[in-house]
Structure 1
């Protein structure tokens, strides 16, 4: 009996080990993955999530789950399901992920008081609102919205139980939930509205990230975006490495140079002869900065222009000559013959949450020539990579408003809109990020249009 018991005990101990033994090819796949540069490992995870094959937070470690997700992607795309991640597979997964990454247009935005940054899908056209707890972003098309709040003295376990109970009481279905010592996640669907909540301990309170989206907005695949946002939050709180934010994936490769070599570059267009170059007009706004008639505007508005005309009060017109040009900060100074009655004065500070308004001229003939005014708030004091030259505002900028001022709520002073961040530095840029260092005072009546 003892011998039989020993055999049974041996079998009981050996069966789980046998069941968890790695599948054929796992060791080769792990070896290949571990040899990749760190950012390529993280980028592969992010791209696999965007492609719909990896519903988990990206990290730099290889696992059985990642092996299975990789082989599934390979099988779905007509490749040998080896699980090995090489430069060809990296390039292919990146191409699969590009359309959604381009749609989401993630930007790294920090919490206004706690400072921890997360990925936010600003490519959806989200408009930001600031309140006492943090930030809310809303989709103008009402497909999705998200909040990033700090709740002081909140209890993590109690908050988790409250969220779960609320979903159940409302007749919702919980797709995923987990409670740990320092965070919880609840993903659910209730009455046609899907949600993903990540609550992270940030003592003495918690950081609460909530994402809501319409279930029928399936083309946005917001459940995948939520996973990436959750991963960015986890990285910000723990200090663990995370992938570089995808920057216009169709314009540049997020892979390391040796991996990016697997993606054939687009053929360079042949240079055009002078007579073949496109002729056209650009228009925008500017403002006077001194009594001599010097006008500041965006460099891109006047770049390569053969002739520049400046209209004052949309009536009087004078020629403008380019006297200074700063492509890096998208600034240009034009000399005109005007003698303005009022000029702008520079202010060198920016305050979080203050209201700003942006005058602009919509493309004719959709609005009257007098233009319009939009308003919003300062929602972050820094842009991508914590660059303080590019604070973020929620004020929508009209197509012909580039180069003009942004007016504070009392319409007595405001900021000069200095255009979008150069795409070569951080991808597509955000048209609502402006260098705070060149903030200036400006009365509403002194708006000027360049045409």
Structure 2
């Protein structure tokens, strides 16, 4: 069954916009500033109070088609929607004030209609899997059922879309997420987020980018995957943003049983491969190093967590532990991807269970979310520290051997580049051990200037060179960490560059309550 999706028509949007502009004029409201402050809040209230829900949803959809908005289509105009309006205005040479006028509205309708028409997107009720999924009908043709769902593909194979249903197999959503979020030699994972009853992830496989989105009801797992060649990115990226919002995994009852297709398809092949959740292997092996030699650059592996003094029935076993720190008032903590990847569940401070996990495996960063108070957010520096600057590494290293309490080490920024001139990292002399992974690197004003992530493998270097290196460790640079927070709309605090430097004890006291152990259960 083909169901056509209709955005709000141009005339409807124009009428709502005229009402809004009249209200703004009568209220003599000041123009919004680029930041979401008091004026931005007033503008958001005006949009939400004086326009109807369909207009606001239509606005969000159209801004997705133009590549400016990536949030939910909830019809609530807040900071992300206002930012999208301003971004659209700025890109097209308009005053970026967040106020929609006739000229902007006309251009938005023109640009979004053009982007949608380029894909020919329509909502399809897929009888094979019971999903309602948006498809770019101008770009793909129906190749019929597969062994796990339904397949559509472009004639030149530059675009492939597949619906998937897995039921009655004992497979869990978390288990599927662990498999798919683990990079392989021919497939990278750029972002991965697990939300309990759903997950999304994206990355690259050869010359194609891909996106996957799955949901679950009990043992019924349904989702879809989109893969497209890089030269199709301009057309496909807006489609992916819209499709992710309009996808309805449980729109209907599926056809059973599934009928296998002879057509080879990427998702089925992926599931057929064997995957392991073994020890984390470094992504940073240097190409110039003899492959027979040990890897010179290693992650400080998550430390084995201290075992319980006596076995308790049904109590989960702690497999690995790292560190993390609070970055927002609403329960987000920042840590390393290698600390929390492929865990059955993640504990924060040994008590609170993380409800969401977002991974950036390219930069070895992760966000974990807890419901409840976890401490004051640490302020993030948006610029890299100075060469030679004093820094502190805080975390919970070797908890099975050392104390359970917070550990602090002092050092300097030895280099503004990582191994092999990697610009994502800082080299630091502060000692780090297994379990320090994901902890904050702070300056003596308490500002976060990095995320501890790796150390040089002294044994491998000694084997290769005959010399034992000392105090060569690495942290993710603050600009990479801030970019990760921005991509995921985390409301972090920006550090005040004018804060005075303190003594080591005072700087430690200012941040210590916001640094917590991160425990991986069931790896």
TM-score normalised per structure 1: 0.45
Q: Determine which structure has more spread, i.e. the larger CA radius of gyration.
A: 1
| TM-score, structure 2 normalization | 0.39
